[in-house]
């Protein structure tokens, strides 16, 4: 297992588990609850102990499933992340959302609380003050953002008195490389983590036949998803949260770690995607 220090003295696996679609998308879907709970526990047993969810997922039902799934485990062994939706970024709304998430998760605190998307209709200072309140009240250990630009992160940080935005969650994969231009270098320079969602390109990378990717997978005797994920997590200050409830895929994620492509292959793979 490979780990990354996301905060001083706090490490998480380089691969975690995303939960979008588990328990529903924009609305709740209870048809596969038992299978979802089993899958989350299987992932934790494998060592994928960073679990990422959000109040938006399944209209809150996903948080309920995550809470039930992690109940048998030592809480200190889990790094639990959830997110506040863009409509709830006013001061009182955000704090209310935080409390509701904790109730659904059946937890006293989360490890990381993220703003899911920016909302330019709500003053950023107000949102940051609410996040800071959540830390001070013990509702969350750390705070961060998602889908923020460098300028927005800098502005947000300027409104915080005592806390540091430790992470920015962003779509990042071989087919979504925009963060490499400005965002990732900035996060590396400021010792923040990029949490990569959709690291398999929303399923495009495993489904399509990309010649260079396939050839490199064959060379290293790995699967295409393993190579694509490895490309993401071997970069400095980057972790990934692929989503799957399939035990075979979860095992596949585990074999993404503890190996690296040589530099030439990495460059060739990077350059093969525009």
Please list the active-site residues. 57
Other CB atoms within a 10 A radius of the CB of residue 132 amount to 16
Measured in whole angstroms, the distance separating CA 82 from the mean position of its chain's CA atoms is: 9
Give the single-character DSSP code of 21: B
Closest CA to 67 of 28, 95, 97, 41: 41
Answer yes or no: are the C-beta atoms of 111 and 139 closer than 8 Å: no
Cβ partners under 8 Å of residue 182, min gap 6: 149, 150
Give the single-character DSSP code of 245: -
Distance CA 101, CA 144 (A): 16
Three-state secondary structure of 41-108: HHHHHHCCCEEECCCCHHHHHHHHHHHHHHCCCCHHHCEEEEEECHHHCCHHHHHHHHHHHHHHHCCC
Distance CA 7, CA 140 (A): 13
């Amino acid at each position: 297992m490979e780990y990354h220090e996301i905060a001083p003295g706090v490490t998480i696996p380089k691969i975690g588990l995303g939960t979008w679609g588990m328990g529903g998308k924009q609305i709740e879907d209870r048809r596969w609850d038992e299978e979802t709970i089993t899958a989350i526990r299987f992932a934790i047993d494998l060592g994928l102990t960073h679990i990422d969810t959000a109040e938006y997922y399944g209209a809150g039902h996903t948080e309920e499933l995550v809470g039930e799934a992690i109940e048998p485990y030592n809480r200190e062994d889990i790094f639990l992340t959830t997110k506040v939706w863009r409509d709830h970024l006013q001061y009182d709304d955000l704090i209310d959302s935080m409390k509701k998430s904790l109730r659904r998760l059946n937890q006293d605190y989360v490890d990381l609380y993220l703003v899911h998307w920016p909302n330019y209709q709500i003053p950023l200072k107000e949102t940051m003050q609410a996040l800071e309140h959540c830390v001070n009240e013990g509702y969350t250990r750390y705070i961060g953002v998602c889908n923020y630009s460098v300028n927005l992160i800098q502005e947000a940080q300027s409104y915080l008195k005592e806390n540091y935005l430790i992470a920015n969650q962003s779509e990042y994969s071989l087919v979504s490389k925009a963060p490499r231009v400005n965002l990732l270098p900035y996060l590396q320079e400021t010792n923040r983590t990029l949490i990569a969602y959709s690291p398999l390109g929303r399923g495009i990378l495993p489904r399509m036949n990309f010649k260079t990717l396939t050839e490199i997978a064959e060379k290293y005797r790995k699967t295409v998803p393993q190579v694509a994920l490895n490309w993401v997590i071997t970069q400095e200050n980057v972790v990934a949260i692929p989503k799957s409830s399939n035990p075979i895929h979860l095992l596949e994620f585990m074999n993404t770690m503890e190996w690296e492509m040589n530099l030439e292959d990495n460059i060739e793979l990077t350059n093969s995607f525009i």
